[in-house]
Structure 1
Amino acid sequence: MIQTRNTDSAFSLLFSVPTVFSEHLIKHEDNQLRDKYDHNSFIYSGQPSLEEFQRALAYQKARGDSFIKLEGYEPLEYAFGMEQEETLTMVLPGDAVFSSWKVNPDITIQAPDFAQLEQHELKYYGPLYGEDFTVRNNRRLREKLTYHGAYLGGKLVGSCYTYSAGGYTCMDSLVVDEDYRHRYIATTLIKYLAETARREGNVLYLHADPEDTPKDMYARMGFQITDTVYEYLCTDFSTLKLD
């Protein structure tokens, strides 16, 4: 068993309730943030049958949700016409040397001011997900996660959150202000988290998009790919292939 999966599962249970839905599907549901795909998905093990998928689709429709999402650790043999994405799990080995990482000595790491944090996330997530969802999502996450802010000259220029369980610390949602990039803000923040995790006896890991350049930065820092999550999403039911 890949240990980071246990930590990811514990993280998921902070926001959603799992219910056995069918032979190959477990439904995760968060009624406080209904339009959050990650907290309202079906976790699959093996290949769901057409009948299972049709039942899951009917459930989503009856619930009033205009999307269906399936997640698992192996690619589906048949995805019913849904779009596939992948998320990499990258772990920093316990013996990694991060003392040589380039950092910005002018950066201060501290708990971010929540009003500043909301504005920071609105700047980057607002255009993608809408302002209302971005604010609601940030406030929901803040209830149970630890946020970290990188400050330069009194301005919040970078942020992320962490969650620790089972000897691992997960870092996610790293965002650096585009006006302050290439100033080692991300590496300064990650080094702080790596030092904190090691001091607490935890192993630091993160999730990365295989198509985005941050994956390459993480690899240069010593993070190693240890797992892949396969995600299938549909927001237009007319595109599904059900025959």
Structure 2
Amino acid sequence: MQNTKFEQIHHFGETIFENHLYKHIHYPEMLVMYDANFLQFKRIPSLDEFRISEKHLMDFHLSNHQEHVKFYFPAQEHLPAELLFYLKQNFYVVGFLELYTIEPERFPTIINDPDIQVQFVEKENLALFLQLQKKWDLEHGEEFATRNQTVHLKNYHNTEVVQALAFYKGEPAGSVNVFLSQTTAEIDSLTVLETYRNKKIGSRLQQAVMKHYHDKTFILVADGEDTPREMYIKQGYQYGGFRYEAMKLVK
């Protein structure tokens, strides 16, 4: 298994500014997408350095009518107590992400269930895929859901992105996006409608894309404090490290 790093994880947006301390990532097509508009620190900043960086991002986002600031910190490094105290005192939500990897042959075989069918998204089922995405995106508000339809369509036309749709007894039940590179396939937005959970639909989606891209190492990022990570561990994914993040809403 190759040594996969957080730097290989896909994100929307481009680097619009970079210095010795951080990269500023910006995605003008989706200003409300938190994970596409952020600062990525190259090393842990001192408190004074963070305050200066914070002002840079806050001023930029407010000038673009964005209502958040978000920061990613270097992988495998804990936040110093002084910086952590500042973040919490200033109402940041601080969390951490965990990276997991697996080779397709290590993924457990799922017994075939004729009620579950997985299809790769093509012209014929694109509308169903988009409808399903909007159901989930509405959890983040009408504006986000509407704008994100453009992102889903952009992914559909991108040869480096694969979208798959799962059906349960003929009804759309779950989906996944897979971002491809030369050596890796990143599982992203793996979601199953609550009505159809605990039927191994998520596992069938993973199995389908792994069979298709069996020559790649599969990777994913999970919230370090969320329960889905426990499922990935049971499925054979290997822990590959952590990265802290901090975000807050601003007006």
Q: Tell me, yes or no, whether TM beats 0.5.
A: yes
Residue 139 of structure 1 aligns with an amino acid whose one-letter code is T
Q: Secondary structure at the match of 1:222?
A: coil
Tell me the equivalent position of 2:204: 188
Tell me the equivalent position of 2:249: 235
Structure 1 contact 103–185 (Cα < 8 Å) conserved:
no
Matches of residues 1-243 of structure 1 in structure 2 within 5 Å? 2-8=3-9, 11-12=10-11, 15-59=12-56, 60-64=58-62, 65-72=66-73, 73=75, 74-77=77-80, 78-79=83-84, 80-81=86-87, 82-93=92-103, 95-96=105-106, 98-99=108-109, 101-112=110-121, 113-127=125-139, 129-144=140-155, 145-198=161-214, 201-236=215-250
Q: Secondary structure at the match of 1:32?
A: helix
Cα distance in 2, alignment partners of residues 94 and 4 from structure 1: 18
RMSD over aligned Cα atoms: 2.3
Structure 1 contact 104–185 (Cα < 8 Å) conserved:
no
TM-score if structure 1 supplies the norm length?
Answer: 0.83
Cα distance in 2, alignment partners of residues 75 and 142 from structure 1: 38
Structure 1 contact 41–70 (Cα < 8 Å) conserved:
yes
Residue 39 of structure 1 aligns with an amino acid whose one-letter code is A
Cα distance in 2, alignment partners of residues 229 and 138 from structure 1: 29
Q: Cα distance 1:120–1:16, how it changes in 2: closer, same or farther (>3 A)? A: same
Cα distance in 1, alignment partners of residues 5 and 30 from structure 2: 25
- Deviation of 1:103 after TM superposition, in Å, equals 4.6
Cα distance in 1, alignment partners of residues 105 and 117 from structure 2: 26
Residue 202 of structure 1 aligns with an amino acid whose one-letter code is K
Q: Secondary structure at the match of 1:229?
A: strand
**Number of residue-to-residue matches in the alignment:** 229
TM-score if structure 2 supplies the norm length?
Answer: 0.81
Cα distance in 2, alignment partners of residues 217 and 139 from structure 1: 31
Q: Secondary structure at the match of 2:165?
A: strand
Give identity over the alignment, percent. 22
Q: Secondary structure at the match of 1:105?
A: coil
Q: Secondary structure at the match of 2:131?
A: helix
Cα distance in 2, alignment partners of residues 71 and 176 from structure 1: 28
- Deviation of 1:174 after TM superposition, in Å, equals 0.9
Structure 1 contact 18–26 (Cα < 8 Å) conserved:
yes
Q: Cα distance 1:21–1:156, how it changes in 2: closer, same or farther (>3 A)? A: same
- Deviation of 1:35 after TM superposition, in Å, equals 1.6
Structure 2 contact 184–216 (Cα < 8 Å) conserved:
yes
Cα distance in 2, alignment partners of residues 97 and 57 from structure 1: 42
